[in-house]
Amino acid sequence: MQVLVDSSVDYRVIHHRAEGRTERASVLRGHPLASAAKCMVVHVRHERENRHVVAVLPGDRRVDYRKLRREFGAVDVRMADRSVAEELTGCQSGCIIPFSFAEELSVVFDPSLLLPREVYFNAARLDRSVGLRPDDLVSLVRPRIADISKAEK
């Protein structure tokens, strides 16, 4: 929250019942699923090193591991263990934010996240969310932007 407070971007805070599932949180916040910023920590394995990435995509899409593997030139890509994700982000699973404060954790946004007028995400708590314009979020996070998602089945 301090990053937002210290910034010059407009945002709004939404307090709601505790919820970590994107679909249900979107209903509580009152917006379409496509406006939710779903954040997942992904383990990216190269031949000589491993790294982790926060993959951020709209709530109505899912991670495309093949695209992520190509984007990062990786041998393998998979969801990070829950304990690792929570340690790297400092957030409980279900309320991981689209920011990184760890040098070893980069952030990648799917370009379809930039289409809605406003995007929403849990603000490191299950009972508090933030809504702001996608371009403002990009200016704060400075993520890598790459096609990393596919439509839900």
Is pLDDT larger for residue 116 or for residue 104? 116
Give the residue from 67, 69, 150, 152 showing the smallest Cα distance to 112.
Answer: 150
Mean pLDDT score of the chain, rounded to an integer? 94
Residues 49-73: tens digit of each pLDDT: 889 999 999 999 999 999 999 999 9
Return the residue matching tokens 């249900």.
Answer: 24
- The pLDDT of residue 118 is 97
Strand order in the sheet with 128-132: 11-15, 128-132, 119-125
Residues 73-86: tens digit of each pLDDT: 999 999 999 999 99
- The pLDDT of residue 141 is 96
Mean pLDDT for the stretch of residues 110-121:
97
Alpha carbon distance 41, 50 (integer Å): 13
CA dist 76 → 11, 73, 103, 107, 151 (Å): 36, 9, 21, 18, 21
Q: Is residue 10 pLDDT above 80, yes or no?
A: yes
Helix (H, G, I), strand (E, B) or coil at 29: helix
- Output the six-digit token pair for 10: 């407009």
Alpha carbon distance 5, 100 (integer Å): 17
Alpha carbon distance 54, 27 (integer Å): 23
